[in-house]
Amino acid sequence: MTITKKQTALEISAQMDIPGRKMEFEFDLDSLPRYWHSGDIFKTTYMNALSCLFPEGERMFIDAVRDHKHLVKDEKLLQQIKGFIKQEAIHGHEHAQFNKYLDKQGYPASKVEAFEKREKAWMKKIMPARTRLAITSAVEHFTAIMADDILNNPASTEGMDEEFKALWKWHAVEETEHKAVAFDVYQQTGGGYFQRVIAMFMVTIMFCMKVSTVQAIFLWKDGKLFSPKVWWQGIKMYFGKNSLIKNIWRNYIDYYRPSFHPWDHDNRELLQEWIDKGQSYKTV
Ligand SMILES: [Fe+2]
Ligand SMILES: [Fe+2]
């Protein structure tokens, strides 16, 4: 990857290569601690909740982008769509493995996934493809800004189990690599500003409600839902020093600008850093 700082967002987007990578994670699920994120119950159950929502969510993103492929004329974007589909399919698969670990721990991960599957089938039935793509573009922005926090803010992964840290960093790298694909497909196939930002507004409410609900179920299972210690961990994660909200809100708000493009925030150096560390994977 050649990083030239004076490039515009569209120039960066047009040069991004999006490879499918088959990672070789080896989780020793029996020896993993229940609270694998620095022993912090809130952070761990929050990320467990995210993981449960990924497999079906990623399938929906693939469908929404694929449903617009026939309208895309740009060869480079067509190549990027292929890479996007490969990456999201592999993410879904790896997180499904992770979710089996959650089932083993007694969390109702499979039930959450089954609910998500029914919801996504219903959305596909009642929503026009354009609406699903506007939602996908919004969620992709959400995942991209959270990925930026994972890659850029050491505190967000400090104390994580090493194998899980590798999984989350790889996912964050690929979310960054393909952060503009759904957006570019939406723009290039005639998607408008108002639908884009209304979708983001709705997605924000739904995403927060959904993650919190699943996390609350997990905390309830552990008998920790009303633990003051866990609530304090939550306040620190969301609002403390180096917190999630402090780190992402500016990037979040940016999406509402009419001229927004995901590569206005050029964070390619985070990808390069990860690649330079030498990763073990097969390109597919
Ligand atoms: Fe993904
Ligand atoms: Fe994605």
* Closest-CA residue to 59 (of 124, 1, 2, 10): 124
The tokens for 125 are 């039935």
* Domain assignment present for 15: no
Question: What counts of helices (H) and strands (E) characterise the chain?
Answer: 11, 2
* Domain assignment present for 14: no
Distance of CA 144 from the midpoint of ligand 1 (Å): 9
pLDDT digits (tens, 9 = 90+) for 9-48: 999 999 999 999 998 777 777 778 899 999 999 999 999 9
pTM attached to this predicted model: 0.94
Distance of CA 243 from the midpoint of ligand 2 (Å): 22
* Domain assignment present for 174: yes
Instruction: Pick the ligand that lies closest to the CA of residue 176.
Output: 2
The tokens for 197 are 């930002």
Q: At residue 1, does pLDDT exceed 70?
A: no
Number of neighbours of residue 27 by Cβ within 10 angstroms: 17
Average pLDDT value for residue range 64-68: 97
* Domain assignment present for 5: no
Distance of CA 87 from the midpoint of ligand 1 (Å): 7
Instruction: Pick the ligand that lies closest to the CA of residue 178.
Output: 2
Distance of CA 174 from the midpoint of ligand 1 (Å): 7
Q: At residue 186, does pLDDT exceed 90?
A: yes
Q: Which residue range(s) make up the domain with 114?
A: 35-283
The tokens for 265 are 């925030």
Average pLDDT value for residue range 214-223: 97
The three-class DSSP label of residue 282 is strand
Distance of CA 216 from the midpoint of ligand 2 (Å): 25
pLDDT digits (tens, 9 = 90+) for 99-140: 988 998 899 999 999 999 999 999 999 999 999 999 999 999
Instruction: Pick the ligand that lies closest to the CA of residue 91.
Output: 1
* Domain assignment present for 41: yes
Average pLDDT value for residue range 132-160: 94
Instruction: Quote the number of domains for the chain.
Output: 1
* Domain assignment present for 98: yes
Distance of CA 49 from the midpoint of ligand 1 (Å): 15
Q: At residue 220, does pLDDT exceed 70?
A: yes
Query: What are the distances in angstroms from CA 281 to CA 20, 53, 156, 175, 218?
Result: 10, 25, 24, 17, 32
* Domain assignment present for 239: yes
> Higher confidence at residue 137 or residue 4?
137
CA–chain centroid gap for 178, Å, is 11
* Domain assignment present for 22: no
Mean pLDDT score of the chain: 93
